[in-house]
A and B are shown apart, each in its own frame.
Chain A
Amino acid sequence: MEALIQQYPWLDELLMGFLGLSWKHVVMWGIGALLIWLAAAKDYEPALLLPIGFGAILANIPHSSAISQVKGEEGFLFVLYNAGIGNELFPVLIFVAIGAMCDFAPLIRNPKVMLFAAAAQFGIFATAVAATFLGFSFEHAASIGIIGAADGPTTIYVASRFAVELLGPLSVAAYCYMSLVPVIQPPVIRAITTKAERQIRMGYENVEPVSQTTKFLFPIMIVLIAGMVAPISVALIGSLMFGNLLKESGVTENLSACAENELANLVTLLLGIVIGGTMSAERFLNYQVLLIMLLGAVAFVFDTAGGVFFAKLMNMFSKTKINPMIGACGISAFPMSGRVIAKMALKEDPSNFIIQHAIGVNVAGQVASVVAGGLVLALIPALAKL
């Protein structure tokens, strides 16, 4: 073949795709196809997994022009990476969109639910410790732990700062496990609660309505407090709360609708395909990625257990009993986790409606995961110097 190419140099140009192909590329096509299948056939986070899967295929065609980094011939995925992930813009824009979708009223009515959300972030830190036992550096371990925030944009934001080489697998793990919440959480909850606990009813007595003024001031207040504690988190919490302010102000309905729909769709599309574009065979097919996928599951299990055990702990000291299952909604997979727990409660007792409580904890999880992300962002550089 080499002799033939020497004789006819144009053949090299024509056959470069075939000549550069290895089994690793084919495996990555399979992984891309699997993600597309999960999105299309199983409806697992289709808006993200489909673009990620297709991006992975584009990135694993030998000499793909989509990911070219040759000066003057940069591929569109490389350009988009620098424009939106390398500078952390896309995750921040996604947060504006999420903020515009969130209704914090259940959280404002019952601020105690934020405690469950804080407890449900335990998985982040436990997983980071576990990752160091498996040989990951501190920065990488902390970035892996952030999968436990159950919050894709936070994972991408932290990974793009401290584990850029793991960005692809970390993002895929975060979004895959978020979509697998209905599969992961129920067995964990059943294992650590009794049937009687799962049947605890939670009433809606003394539920005060929330004024529009409170809803309007809430995002500003949260930004000021979180920003003062961890200024590094202002980009994340600030964008989340900016989106919510657009929604609650009542005077920017067009902007709020744009953030909730057009912005969310456009950035999700770009984010997905760019992340897929980082999944080259060299980066993805290794033992580390297998460990990351495993640790991602560990993070979700620890999060769920952390929230449930905290609710059980509160029941020991409280007169009004809480259904401990709602502690599991403290992970930020919103609104899926809230719905899953509400369904579980209905399965245990068809007349037990805890959806509002569950969604309240779930919305609080959105805030707590960003606070946890901010603390990790602040602590990684500080502790890495030691």
Chain B
Amino acid sequence: MNPATVKAMTMMVIALPTMFAVIAVFMLATTVLHKTFPAPPEEESGDEDED
């Protein structure tokens, strides 16, 4: 196989799982952040309006 193809495949094999791992860390951190700082009741209406 052409060396460029081998490198591109290696990139895919490394990058895709790494990206899912990074995204999993983002998800976990975002969930913790969201739970740690819940919106006070008065922010609810403002947030709904915004969306």
Contacts and interface: CB of A to CB of B under 8 A. Distances in A.
Contact of A125 (B8, B26, B34, B39): B8
Contacts of A128: 8, 11-12
A125 B13 CA distance: 9
Interface stretch (A93-101, A193-201, A287-295, A368-376): A368-376
Given A105-B47, A229-B22, A129 B14 contact: no
Nearest to A224: B29
B37 A372 contact: no
A380 B37 CA distance: 39
A329 interface: no
Given A137-B4, A211-B40, A221-B33, A376 B47 contact: no
Nearest to B20: A118
A211 B37 contact: yes
Contacts of B25: 225, 229
A132 B34 contact: no
Contacts of B23: 114-115, 117-118, 368, 371
Interface in B1-51: 2-5, 7-12, 14-16, 18-20, 22-23, 25-27, 29-31, 33-34, 36-40, 43-44, 47-48, 50-51
A209 B8 contact: no
Interface size classification for chain A: 35 or more
B27 A114 contact: yes
B29 to A, nearest CB: 6
Contact of A111 (B16, B30, B48): B30
Contacts of A40: none
Nearest to A119: B20
A106 B22 CA distance: 19
B15 A129 contact: no
Interface of B: 2-5, 7-12, 14-16, 18-20, 22-23, 25-27, 29-31, 33-34, 36-40, 43-44, 47-48, 50-51
Q: Which 4 A-B pairs have the closest CB atoms?
A: A125-B12, A209-B47, A211-B39, A209-B39
